[in-house]
Structure 1
Amino acid sequence: MSGPAAGGATGIVETTSTSGFIFATATGVEVTVTEASSTKYTRGTHRASARAVKKGASVLVLGTVDSATIAATRVTVQPRGDGGAAAAEAAGVIPFQQGTPSQAKSVGQIPDYAEGEGTIVSGTTADKATKAAQAVVPGGINDRVVQLSGGEYEVHNISVNWPHHVFVSNDFKVLGYE
């Protein structure tokens, strides 16, 4: 990967400022969000403004990811959301711990692929794949979306020990993860 790419993360807002906010994922990763005048906001399924982002709110943030910073293009405030905590626990997401090796297990259907193959995608396609991945396997930061030769997407997951890859079908349903 040569630089920032489309992705996102889910979590609970910790602090807000005039230029963005900081939230923590279900595994405790702190993510800094920068907002722009072009950032779009929704609360549930309704349009909202930046004022909808408050301390304690559950959010899904999509945009350009550079490590633990997201330049937000879309922020969804999830009423009654838990920042992905229940889904992360159900999926068995393992928080990052220095020196702890990643699990060598997989769940569901894993497409036939070689790591590093495929084409990095952006825009609506990357947003849909990231949103699907975050709904099933939140806790990490999705830092890029790659379209594989079979048409599926590999959503790359960082800041967790497991899973590192979430596979999404071409109709944006999670197939599996490893």
Structure 2
Amino acid sequence: MTVNEASATTYQKGTSATSASAIAAGETVLVLGTTNGTTITATQGIVQPAGDYGSAASSAAGVVPFQRGAPTTAKQVGQIPANYTERSGTVVSATAANQATEASLAGFPGGDRVVQLSSGEYEVHNIGVNWPHHVFVTQDFKAVGAN
């Protein structure tokens, strides 16, 4: 994957704005932007919490690390859309995906795909963790639940 910076690209670390030069080598950054093949033109870079999904920060957030061959931990918090079924909805990108991902990051690390459900709400999908594998975000971009 290639990431191209634009003059308007913004950066965030925790709840504070930062600059590209303040991001250290080796830090994990969620890049939001537009894609073209294997290239992302970044609109925003969000520094992720230190460590992997098994880190203390992730444990505090209630993240269950993915372990190949391990049974999935069944857990649900908050509101799950009444008509939600896994693999439903339409993959979205651009502004809506960025806003849904940012809302999801307020409570849970990660997020790699955003789907708009038939109700207009969003599901932010997290590969690499058993829980929260799906974070649910309202039409006005507030994280309300996870499973």
TM over 0.5, shorter chain: yes
Length-normalised TM-score, structure 1: 0.63
2:17 corresponding residue in structure 1: 45
2-structure distance, mates of 1:58, 1:118: 28
Following TM superposition, by how much is the alpha carbon of 1:60 offset from its aligned partner in structure 2, in angstroms? Answer: 4.1
Identity %: 54
> Is the Cα contact below 8 Å between 2:137 and 2:143 reproduced in 1?
yes
2:3 corresponding residue in structure 1: 35
Unpaired segments of 5 or more residues in structure 1?
1-32
Following TM superposition, by how much is the alpha carbon of 1:54 offset from its aligned partner in structure 2, in angstroms? Answer: 1.7
Query: What one-letter code is carried by the residue in structure 1 that aligns with 2:89?
Result: G
Query: Partner of 2:4: helix, strand, or coil?
Result: coil
Query: What one-letter code is carried by the residue in structure 1 that aligns with 2:62?
Result: G
1-structure distance, mates of 2:4, 2:103: 24
Distance 1:159 1:70, change over 3 A: farther
1:122 corresponding residue in structure 2: 93
2:131 corresponding residue in structure 1: 162
> Is the Cα contact below 8 Å between 1:168 and 1:176 reproduced in 2?
yes
Q: Does 1:143 align with 2:112?
A: yes
Unpaired segments of 5 or more residues in structure 2?
none
**1:102 aligned residue (40, 55, 72):** 72
> Is the Cα contact below 8 Å between 1:96 and 1:161 reproduced in 2?
yes
More strand by percentage: 1
Length-normalised TM-score, structure 2: 0.74
Aligned length: 137
1:172 corresponding residue in structure 2: 141
| Structure showing greater relative contact order (alpha-carbon pairs closer than 8 Å, 6 or more residues apart) | 1
Query: Partner of 1:130: helix, strand, or coil?
Result: helix
> Is the Cα contact below 8 Å between 1:94 and 1:160 reproduced in 2?
yes
> Is the Cα contact below 8 Å between 2:23 and 2:47 reproduced in 1?
yes
Distance 1:99 1:156, change over 3 A: same
2-structure distance, mates of 1:122, 1:144: 8
RMSD: 3.0
Following TM superposition, by how much is the alpha carbon of 1:56 offset from its aligned partner in structure 2, in angstroms? Answer: 6.4
Following TM superposition, by how much is the alpha carbon of 1:72 offset from its aligned partner in structure 2, in angstroms? Answer: 5.7
